[in-house]
Structure 1
Amino acid sequence: MSVRMDNMGIVVEDLDVTVAFFRELGLELEGRMMVEGEWAGRVTGLGDQRVEIAMMRTPDGHNRLELCRYLSPEVIADHRRAPVNALGYLRAMFAVDDIDGTLERLYNVGAELVSDEVIRYEDAYRLCYIRGPEGILIGLAEQLDPPV
């Protein structure tokens, strides 16, 4: 039985730009390191590998995002522009206090809305998908105050 989800990983080409994007979203950089060697390749099934990793932590401290830049072996597939209904496609959803303010900050580091608007779901949420650096798909959700 699982105890918790430790992290979610995303493979990127530009680690510095991606770290800056997630910092702007409010995540904190825990650290960066190189993971390499035959032992690591036995875990992933890739053989001898060299991967630069940046571990980011969410503001609540409960979740982490592992950003990986593969130096070897070379990346063999690119799913960054796949539509959200592609099989196996990953996206992360982040709860935010102020979706408009968050979007403004993320636009400044290259984010783009997937559609042309932020959608209101009943009286519960304002939601949108954005593409961050390298086309990474991110969801944003702002919970609306319940009616009094």
Structure 2
Amino acid sequence: MMPENRLLRMDNVGLVVESLDKAISFFAEIGLELEGRTIIEGKWAGRVTGLDGQRVEIAMMVTPDGHSRLEISQFLAPPVISDHRAAPVNALGYLRVMFTVEDIDELLSRLSKHGTQLLGEVVEYENTYRLCYIRGPEGILIGLAEPLNHS
């Protein structure tokens, strides 16, 4: 039996950062495009998030196919009170965002300019993908997957 209220789509994944400019530059290097940037504030915003006096600058970035979005937020107020960026990959809660790319090695070379750190190593999974995890700006955990097209 189908539920009456069906899911339409996943709209975006949200990340909170200290430097919006650095995060935009990093995700643009991966291949996302900046769709827009604005300040969100006002009573309505605080009512949605439960943060009174909220003032946050956001950037919406979109994948080249237009189907997936990443909302990157830098809180101007209230002050940030918790930091999960250094959490290990087995921590509860947010884990990572995974991107499918054409050439992991080439991308890792470009991302090194952004201070990216490779966790572990690039590995091949069942003759299907090359995979790795990296720490991006501010320690954000990112997964990269390169499909292997064996003839």
Q: Which TM-score band (shorter chain)?
A: over 0.9
- Deviations, residues 36-80 of structure 1 (Å, cap 9, x unaligned): 011100000112200000110011110000000001111111000
SS at match of 1:108: helix
TM-score, normalization by structure 2: 0.94
> 1:100 aligns to what?
105
Structure 2 unmatched runs, 5+:
1-5
Which residue type is aligned with residue 59 of structure 1? Answer: P
How many equivalent pairs are there?
Answer: 146
Which residue type is aligned with residue 8 of structure 1? Answer: V
SS at match of 1:18: helix
Contact 1:9 1:67 (C-alpha < 8 Å) held by counterparts: yes
Of residues 126, 129, 150, the one that matches 1:125 is 129
5 Å-filtered alignment, 1:1-148, equals 1-115=6-120, 117-146=121-150, 148=151
Q: Please provide the CA RMSD for this pair.
A: 0.8
Structure 1 unmatched runs, 5+:
none
SS at match of 2:55: strand
Distance, in Å, in 2 between the alignment partners of 1:59 and 1:74 is 33
Distance, in Å, in 2 between the alignment partners of 1:44 and 1:73 is 12
TM-score, normalization by structure 1: 0.96
Distance, in Å, in 2 between the alignment partners of 1:15 and 1:6 is 20
- Deviations, residues 13-41 of structure 1 (Å, cap 9, x unaligned): 00000100000000000111000011100
Which residue type is aligned with residue 2 of structure 1? Answer: L
Contact 1:95 1:141 (C-alpha < 8 Å) held by counterparts: yes
- Deviations, residues 57-108 of structure 1 (Å, cap 9, x unaligned): 0111100000000011111110000001111023100000111111111111
Q: In percent, how many aligned pairs have the same letter?
A: 66
Distance, in Å, in 2 between the alignment partners of 1:59 and 1:110 is 24
